[in-house]
Amino acid sequence: MKHSADEDIVKNKMKLTFDYRRNMILDPQQSCNILFEFPRFKDVKGLVEQDFVLMFGEGVSGKLLEKWPTAYKKKIIQECRKLPSTSELEELLLTADPPEDSTERDADFGWDSDLSSVFLLLHLIPPSAQGRRKPGKVSASQAEKHLVVFKKSGTSIQEHLDAITTSSQPYLLAVGARKNAVHQFFIVLDKNAIPCRSTSCLGAFDELFKAHFVFGTSYNPMLRNMYTFIQTTVYNIDVGKVKESPRVAEVG
């Protein structure tokens, strides 16, 4: 399977080994070996999505892409307009909901509208400081850096991976000409780059969220409140079984 060029064959064999993989993930001694045992995650796009669908079903899997643009994005923007103004917040509001008379040049400085609205969620549901050595408030902009890292086109992905010195929870590596013109996303996990099937920011974020379940990894403490909102309110996974930030219920 490791050398099969036929992606359909790979995907079918990955389906057949799904239960074996789930058992590995439930075993703390084996869970860290998933990408070694199943290296095709690193070159066949769509395997994260496939495993997530096998876990929760097609209906659950499609909820973020279906609901975010229609049900959540506008509400989050509206709620963020009520927050005390900061330059970071205003910048995100401008990219999440650009005025009708804005030019393409005006929009060049930030992420695209969808990802900006995800970042707004970090302002609405403040990051958790849990797990930090130094107690204190974590800013939304600090938390953003644990969610997505941008690299210019032409940057060596391997060099980025080699420079990682500490183990961390999964995050997105976005590669493109500029932040709102990304042509490829990777999920970075344990110094491995897993290519995203989607080339849209929201689609890549969707895959990043799902990777936590597929690889059995915990949420980054700074992003836990935001991810919990996505998990319980958007996907309706384990509602009532996980501790939610008080703001989660308000936003949902």
Number of helices followed by number of strands (H, E) in the chain: 14, 4
Render pLDDT for 96-155 as a digit per residue (tens, 0 to 9).
Answer: 998 876 655 455 568 899 999 999 999 998 876 554 444 445 678 888 889 999 999 998
Residue 63: closest CA among 221, 240, 239: 239
The single-letter code of the amino acid at 189 is L
Give the DSSP H or E segment for 186: strand 182-189
Half-sphere exposure of 72 (CA within 13 A, CB side): 26
pLDDT of residue 126: 80
Mean pLDDT of the chain: 87
| Rg over CA atoms, the chain | 18
Within the chain, what is the greatest distance between any pair of CA atoms?
56
pLDDT of residue 107: 53
Helices 113-124 and 73-80: crossing angle in degrees, nearest 10, is 50
Q: What mean pLDDT do residues 21-27 have?
A: 93
> What whole-number percentage of the chain has pLDDT above 90?
64
Q: What mean pLDDT do residues 38-60 have?
A: 96
pLDDT of residue 130: 52
| DSSP track, 93-115 | HHHHS--TT--TTGGGGS--HHH
Residue 14: closest CA among 66, 72, 6, 79: 6
pLDDT of residue 219: 93
Question: What residue ranges do the domains of the chain occupy?
Answer: 1-44, 45-251
Tokens of 81: 């307009």
A 10 A CB-CB count for 172 gives 21
Q: What's the pLDDT band for 250 if we cut at 50, 70, 90?
A: low
